[in-house]
A and B are shown apart, each in its own frame.
Chain A
């Protein structure tokens, strides 16, 4: 009897897991079967159009690349600097504890709230308008907690003997960090950054909130240009009643997922390289 109950429970638990995996399979199947027919070279090189057959994602793809590149450029130095402070300098102080608590709370703030912050602060108060810069600044704030947490983890994997060896040779604290600790932690830092950016590239709500346009027929030509991004273009197509636009949305999702999976693949390659390098 007890044995039976145990076997049934194992089966039910496994079932819960398999249902989740089956749903993922259904999702992938749904999108591929809806979107594969619309996926073509023209779809990548054409811009938005009122005619579903001729519409493409070029402008949105370029918008996403602009925004994500700039987000990375903003989030990397600030995130790494913050992580170095928390891990190497202030780890025991009360201020550092407070900052840590604050970061872990920020990581769970809904992304749409960051959109409202971006709207009030970057778009209005700082007068950036609905530009690539305002979008990237908003997403950088959103990505920072993740970059900081993963960088700290990477810094923690550097053995303390490396630091002690450097100090013993007369290096200062910063020389030790810059010349020894950071280079060793770099692959881990980059992996964390790419994962944070791959999350940011799928973000829709904060960019809609700051006013990134849903219909914009050109690619950005600079950081002050107006823009749209892939997920917003997808959202725009999903919201239209005509079935042709639904197919466009599915094809747009395919482009987004390919972009996401390649970013994840790069992250995995970087991580494996790190593990391949000699441990001390």
Chain B
């Protein structure tokens, strides 16, 4: 009853004022305007972290689960993009702004021919500086070490025109002008023989390509792709000498270099106007995208890796769900108590989501670190261009976070079982 006499305004104020009086030294609180919404997010995060931290074994198994999912997704996406990159590597190396291609060509390793005359027609436009025919064909290469034969990609073009550029090409360009001279892609698969070593030992040497003996006069660096395990570059004239069955008036691709400062889109539109419909006019990006699209849609490769990624995410999600679910189930009384003392369902949901976020982060970071190393290992074993890119890291983190959040949302349903009415 003393409450009433003490506090005419608030009957339950005395205990508060009494408390305040008992600790007059309490520092004056800072204005809470700023940290308030932040605190509403950080407090559940802290509670979630304290709860996760309390059970180390479970935390580590959760971490391992998320890490596993992260590694799996990283590897799948890494392979996927490495294969697509390698598939388009040849075209990506070309430095022209516009390309002419037969509309029926699906992929560069299997080109449909187009009339060579289109290159000359393109020169009718004043903004076209160069139009260079590029010849593509596959033939066989006899391994100079053991004599075995293997399919190899040939790329022929006017080396001096500068429309196509590979690493190391400039150094051997003069040598490639000689009759039957070829440049070998030093990054080709090892099944072609250790040409780089042989070249280092002997200098230029003879190998059999198709049914003809040619001279390896130097090394370039392109890299194998889906379509080709190795590459040979040569001058246009040598290409025609080696591939006899081709009609000389046909080519496979025309690389067009524009005068400096030309609007590429406008030039593309004008070329489209003046050229017959038996060619398509593509920008460099469109050409690469066309090639990539072939591998993504016309082969099961894109699907396989997407499927692998999804499997990894599902496994990770199940693990995280198990962890979160058992965390809730084991702490039902505590959760119910928190509800009883005034925490809302929404607040506890935030605790669960915060736990999911924490698991996503602590699983992702070691997973990403492990993958940087694994990429190195795999790249040296498969000759595929595998490397960690910031875009992929962000994307995988997004996927892992989504995975953990989904697991959190599923586990959250268990919160309903935390009924404060059953506490008494």
Binding between chains A and B: no
